[in-house]
Amino acid sequence: MNLLEVDRVNSYYGDSHILFDVSLAIAEGEVVALLGRNGAGKTTTLKTIMGVLRAQSGSIRLAGRPIEALRPFEIARLGVQLVPEERRIFGGLTVAENLELAALTAQKPLSIDRIFATFPRLAERHSSRGRNLSGGEQQMLAIARALIRDAEIILLDEPFEGLAPLVVRDLVEVAAKLAAEGRTILIVEQNVTAALDLAQRVYVLNNGHIVFEGTTQALLGKPAIMKYHLGV
């Protein structure tokens, strides 16, 4: 059964048509990558799923329930959690306080101990303020805030952006652990290698159009698509 279905969605910024009949399907427990060059419409897709940007046409369903008309906080309550590229952690709050705040409005939040078991580095830094964390630690905290809300599906927007290769490796390991636990993940990422290490299936966007849909191995067997649409 598909946990998330995006069916022929069209989205606009003002008069600018950004997404053209975009369709995605993500099964429960699956990790799917949404790839494409800058400006392809990847972040717009995540914002449309999350209700930050309202789809002008098409449908979005979570476990069969239409959500395209809901507001972002309503979609979040249903179990969709967006980890934005900007991370948006609270710099003046400690790691523990950031997590406690995220858990406040969750129906069945996970325990902080369980979060710290997944993110040992955050356990070590539990009393550090967000502004004093490294870039990688801030990204871990941003993902942990989504996880503590026991997300049905986590939308990751450029989680590896601007991070050193060793930090990216650690984050890939964390994301792989979440996937192994059965978490459903949709990842948007410019680091194609890291994204393909995680994902079982891939969609490629170009100028708001889906130009490829298939398994990771199928994409790796399409060097023309890799070069033209992903610059690899």
Whether 161 and 71 map to the same domain: the answer is yes
Whether 71 and 25 map to the same domain: the answer is yes
Whether 7 and 73 map to the same domain: the answer is yes
Given a cut of 70, whether residue 232 has pLDDT beyond it is no
pLDDT number for residue 141: 94
DSSP letter for each residue of 8-31? EEEEEETTEEEEEEEEEEEETT-E
CATH number, domain containing residue 64: 3.40.50.300
Instruction: List, for residues 35-87, the tens digit of each pLDDT value.
Output: 999 999 999 999 999 999 999 999 999 999 999 999 999 999 999 999 988 88
Given a cut of 90, whether residue 161 has pLDDT beyond it is no
pLDDT number for residue 175: 85
pLDDT number for residue 3: 95
Whether 217 and 143 map to the same domain: the answer is no
Instruction: List, for residues 73-118, the tens digit of each pLDDT value.
Output: 999 999 999 998 888 899 999 999 999 999 998 888 999 999 999 8
Per the structure, the count of domains in the chain is 2
Q: Above pLDDT 70, what percent of the chain? A: 100
Instruction: Tell me the residue range of the domain where 123 lies.
Output: 86-151
7-12 mean pLDDT: 97
The sign of the dihedral angle between the CA atoms of 108, 43, 231, 228 is positive
Whether 74 and 3 map to the same domain: the answer is yes
Whether 9 and 68 map to the same domain: the answer is yes
Instruction: Let me know if 131 is exposed, middle or buried by CB neighbors in 10 A (0-12, 13-18, 19+).
Output: exposed
Instruction: List, for residues 169-208, the tens digit of each pLDDT value.
Output: 888 888 888 888 888 999 999 889 989 989 999 999 999 9
What is the distance between the alpha carbons of residues 178 and 195, in angstroms, rounded to a whole number? 14
Residue 29 domain-assigned (yes or no): yes
Q: Which of 181, 164, 163 is nearest to 115 (CA)?
A: 181
pTM greater than the 0.85 cutoff: yes
pLDDT number for residue 231: 79
- Which of 151, 177, 200 is where one domain is finished? 151
Residue 56 Rama label (left phi>0; alpha psi -120 to 50; beta): alpha
Average pLDDT, the chain: 92
Whether 14 and 74 map to the same domain: the answer is yes
Name beta bridge partners: 5. 25, 61
Whether 30 and 142 map to the same domain: the answer is no
pLDDT number for residue 60: 98
Whether 65 and 92 map to the same domain: the answer is no
Name beta bridge partners: 203. 34, 213
Q: Residue 71 in contact with residue 27, Cβ under 8 Å? A: no
Given a cut of 90, whether residue 168 has pLDDT beyond it is no
What is the distance between the alpha carbons of residues 55 and 224, in angstroms, rounded to a whole number? 31
133-147 mean pLDDT: 92
